[in-house]
Amino acid sequence: MPMTSLQSLDLKEKRVLVRVDFNVPLDKSGNITDDTRIRQALPTIKYLIKQGAKVILMSHLGRPKGSKDESSSLSPCADRLGELLERDVKLAPDCIGKATQTLVMAMEPGDVVLLENLRFHKEEESPDDEFASQLAELGEIYVNDAFATAHRKHTSTYLLPSLFQDKAAGGFLMEKEINHLTPLVLQPKRPFYAILGGAKIESKLGVLNALLSKVDGLFIGGGMAFTFIKASGIPIGNSLCDDHLLDEARRIMQTCEEKAIKLWLPKDIMIGRGFTDEAEFKTVPTKDGLPDGWQGMDIGEETVKEWSEALKSAATVFWNGPMGIFEFEEFAKGTQGIAETLSGLDADTIVGGGDSVAAVNQLELSKNFTHISTGGGAALEFIEHGHLPGIDILS
């Protein structure tokens, strides 16, 4: 069943309850350091305003653990959204309750109200019918434009839309994500390569297995590469490793061999003795192994060169996860090198979430990619399963 489209609904003078993802990074003073997620919601919000709707936005921010926490208030988001829309955006005192209801019922067409953090209530992450009913009272139409949370069965993404029957739709950002990720599930242009990084193999085991039936080549970097390197019989020093998954790594490598899927592991590795920019570090060939007391921090220059050459033949590339400990400048070069390579390819290039997106944005390369997904975990689960609960409920 296709997801209900926002454009199919009569929005004029209706109270439209919109789930957005304003989970933006804040500095210690509470200032937004990257407003990308707010900007990505603008097409849907502007369309609703133009249609004469009363726009009621709801989001989570941080992990306040079910109680009010001023450091997780959505106040900075309301201010920033107001600047971007060039209109007043009121912040409700809560996401439910009499004062919030009074504010919402007084809205005029074109008004925008942002409800306070959904996660100030534990019932958001632990689905609760009563909490869903109280939220539902605020709106006449429900819209989900928060793809990054669509893999969670939370109250605002799963229970709430079910109360709106045929008046629950996906927003433009949700549609965009589905349109770009669906070909990866169904029929990618070939050769189709996937690049996976990040800390551990365990969190990406599902998508790894799903990709084995889809990809022509697999590049594995970041901390998760060391489980495969150790499974190949090469010493990894003090590097990260999912020891309980060594047999699983061997099975994946064997499957790649049987299916003629080219598997690239790092040719060389930058290793270090600590987690600071001043730490002692050097680059070693992977085949020689890593000495005791040293830890793999990033893929090396030779790996970036080899992978960049191989990627030139790609028609489609999906990338999720950094190639090294991206937080430290000295160990960010592998991630940056891959980002620069992908930005210059004549191929469909899709980046899914986290530090991979941060690298692309930091290098100001986002315009050179086909699609930058707003949800790392959601994108991985969509590729693995072909659907998500928060999208299914809108169908």
> What CATH number has the domain bearing residue 49?
3.40.50.1260
**pLDDT of the residue at 1:** 61
Can 65 be counted among the known catalytic residues? Answer: no
What whole-number distance in Å separates Cα of residue 251 and Cα of residue 256?
9
Can 282 be counted among the known catalytic residues? Answer: no
**pLDDT of the residue at 320:** 92
Exactly one of 217, 237, 337, 354 is catalytic; name it: 354
Report yes or no on 124 lying in a domain: yes
* Whether residue 255 is found in the same domain as residue 366: yes
Report yes or no on 390 lying in a domain: no
* Whether residue 146 is found in the same domain as residue 42: yes
* Whether residue 139 is found in the same domain as residue 17: yes
* Whether residue 343 is found in the same domain as residue 314: yes
Report yes or no on 210 lying in a domain: yes
* Whether residue 298 is found in the same domain as residue 165: no
Can 62 be counted among the known catalytic residues? Answer: no
CA dist list (Å): 390 to 4, 174, 185, 384: 12, 10, 18, 15
Exactly one of 197, 217, 377, 390 is catalytic; name it: 377
* Whether residue 76 is found in the same domain as residue 145: yes
Average per-residue pLDDT for the chain: 94
Q: Tell me how crowded residue 242 is: count the other CB atoms within 10 A of its CB.
A: 21
> What stretches of the chain adopt beta strand conformation (E)?
15-19, 54-58, 89-91, 112-114, 141-144, 168-170, 192-196, 217-220, 262-264, 268-272, 281-285, 295-299, 316-320, 348-352, 371-373
The total domain count for the chain is 2
pLDDT digits (tens, 9 = 90+) for 8-37: 999 999 999 999 999 998 999 999 988 989
What whole-number distance in Å separates Cα of residue 338 and Cα of residue 124?
38
Can 198 be counted among the known catalytic residues? Answer: no
* Whether residue 254 is found in the same domain as residue 329: yes
* Whether residue 221 is found in the same domain as residue 167: no
Residues of the chain with pLDDT under 50: none
Q: Among all chains, which residue has been given the structure tokens 């996976």? A: 196
Residue percentage of the chain with pLDDT more than 90 = 82
Exactly one of 46, 90, 200, 267 is catalytic; name it: 200
- Going by C-alpha positions, the residue among 257, 256, 261, 286 that lies closest to residue 271 is 286
Structural domain that includes position 322: 188-385
151, 175, 199 — which closes off a domain?
175
Contact 91, 74 (CB under 8 A): yes
**pLDDT of the residue at 277:** 63
pTM, 2 dp: 0.89
Report yes or no on 65 lying in a domain: yes
Report yes or no on 134 lying in a domain: yes
* Whether residue 95 is found in the same domain as residue 243: no
What whole-number distance in Å separates Cα of residue 392 and Cα of residue 8?
18
What lies within 8 Å, CB to CB, of 17 at 6+ separation is 56, 58, 135, 136, 138, 139, 141, 142, 143, 160
Q: Which residues are registered as beta bridge partners of 219?
A: 195, 264
148, 175, 202 — which closes off a domain?
175
pLDDT digits (tens, 9 = 90+) for 43-83: 999 999 999 999 999 999 999 989 999 999 999 999 999 99
Exactly one of 15, 37, 152, 214 is catalytic; name it: 37
